[in-house]
Amino acid sequence: MTSDSPRPPPRRRFFGGFGRRELQGLFWQVLVVGIVLGVVAFLWCNTVTNLSARRITTGFAFLGREAGMPIADSLLSYNPRDTYLWAFVVGIANTLRVAVIGIVLATILGTLIGISRLSANWLLSRLAAVYVETLRDIPLLLQLLFWYVLMQALPAARAAWRPVEGVFLSNRGLILPAIPVGSPQLWVLGTAVLGLAVFYLIRRWLIAQQMRDGKPRPAWPFAVGLIVALPAAMSVALGVSWKIEWPELRGFNFVGGLTLAPEYFALLIALVTYTSAFIAEIVRSGIQSVPRGQWDAANALGLRRSFMLRQIILPQALRVIVPPKTSQYLNLTKNSSLAVAIGYQDVVSVANTTLNQTGQAIEAIALIMAVFLTISLCISFFMNWYNSRIALVER
């Protein structure tokens, strides 16, 4: 069958084979980029001119000067005679100390609360609902102040509460037994982490071999050798001592053990409880997104509820849970900046003190933004990688 209708005229092509529509799109893109660059250049020139008029120096040379600021609770060793740069590093370590531990604890607590909301036990599900609805409806700053005031109201060190042998709770914070960690212990822990990474790769290879020929290959000998035997050999070779240091009261304070300052402890509790309320709802919605037929099939096989959740329901629910949970991890990390309200010296507090001492406002704020941007991008990268690993692959 032929058609006598005339063919449409060919589209005219201009420079480099671009048509009129492509050239119009390119023009508007170049125009928008030019406007943005012009605005940025205007703001930069205006800032430089105003700083020069007020005789305010710019640059990051101040980072090499002596800080002279005290940091009471620090994960890294610090002295006021150290530089501003090291003070920023200590502040970043304190921020990561809150964010990493807070993310782990909020994930565990939020998952348990989310599962409890779906429990057949009426009392347990109602208590979980009250927990969620109460904590996520109260501003985080108020919760943070509440926990800090509560910590200050605890008894003095001499009358400290002792819920468990070796654990003390007072207005000095939470004191726990601990193993002193030095350079030898870090080498052993690094060896264990390396062994765990190598075991992960070996386990993937063993699974791939089993999928190829159907022959199961045990992975436990590699686990024992890499995760247990290798760090133990390193520990013996270095003569590492793993003796637990128990805290004891001497005078008006505790000596030995691990001390969690009231500011850090209050901040950690507030962030964990507040964020776990949102994570609980994410976990609940993820579990409810799994088709009811999965539950019915597992019940028909007589499987235990704990086994169903762990092996059938949660692996499928993760595809719904992980993306919004990433946002909660980012929120927890950024909300840690509220530590300045109770005197915990994280990177924001250190930057504020630096700003007041040096007058380098733009540089200090830029460092805060760079730190939180870097941490948030790392969290997003890891969670996106994990989400791609558990995503359904269509054949």
DSSP result, 33-102? HHHHHHHHHHHHHHHHHHHHHTT---SSGGGGSB-----SS-SS---TTSBHHHHHHHHHHHHHHHHHHH
Torsions phi, psi of 161, nearest 5?
-70, 145
The pLDDT value given to residue 9: 57
Cβ 257 vs Cβ 245: under 8 Å: yes
3-state secondary structure of 113: helix
Tell me the C-alpha to C-alpha distance, in Å, between residue 384 and each of 376, 390, 391. Answer: 12, 10, 10
CA separation for the pair 251, 158 (Å, rounded): 8
How would DSSP label each residue in 267-296? HHHHHHHHHHHHHHHHHHHHHHTS-HHHHH
The arithmetic mean of pLDDT across residues 15-26, rounded, is 68
Higher pLDDT, 208 or 327: 327
Question: If pLDDT is split at 50, 70 and 90, which confidence band does 116 have?
Answer: very high
pLDDT score, position 266: 93
First to last CA, the chain: 39
pLDDT in tens, 176-212: 888 777 778 888 888 888 989 899 899 888 888 888 8
Residue 135 to residue 277: CA distance in whole angstroms: 6
Confidence of residue 8 (pLDDT cuts 50, 70, 90): low
| pLDDT > 90 fraction of the chain, expressed in percent and rounded | 33
Confidence tier at 376 by pLDDT (50, 70, 90) = very high
pLDDT for residue 222 is more than 90:
no
Sheet holding 168-170, edge to edge: 168-170, 173-176, 258-260
CB 93 within 8 A of CB 375: no
pTM, rounded to two decimals: 0.80
Least confident of 12-26, 81-95, 150-164, 232-246: 12-26
Those residues with Cβ within 8 angstroms of residue 264's Cβ, 6 or more apart along the chain or in another chain: 73, 94, 97, 98, 173, 344
Alpha-carbon distance of 369 to 44, in angstroms, equals: 17
pLDDT tens, residue by residue, 74-115: 878 888 888 999 999 999 999 999 999 999 999 999 999 999
CA atoms within 13 A on the CB side of 6: 3
**Please, which residues bridge with residue 253 across strands?**
250
Helix (H) or strand (E) holding 255: strand 253-255
Range 25-35 average pLDDT: 88
81-120: string of b/e by CB count within 10 Å (b at 16+)? ebebebbbbbbbebbbbbbeebbebbbebbbebbbbbeee
Averaged pLDDT score across all residues of the chain? 85
Residue at 275: amino acid letter? T
pLDDT (mean) for 205-232 = 85
Beta-bridge mates of residue 260: 174
Q: What is the pLDDT of residue 21?
A: 76
Helix 361-390 / helix 347-358 crossing angle, nearest 10 deg: 160
- Sorting pLDDT into bands at 50, 70 and 90, what band is 217? confident
Q: Residues 6 or more apart from 161 whose CB is under 8 A from it? A: 154, 155, 168, 169, 170
pLDDT in tens, 347-366: 999 999 998 888 888 888 98
Q: Rounded CA gap, 276 and 81, in Å?
A: 40
Least confident window among 3-12, 50-59, 314-323, 352-361: 3-12
What pLDDT is recorded for position 123? 93
Which two structure tokens, joined as six digits, stand for 154?
Answer: 């605890």
Rounded Cα distance between 311 and 313, Å, is 6
Distance (Å, rounded) from C-alpha 128 to C-alpha 195? 39
Answer whether residue 306 shows pLDDT above 80.
no
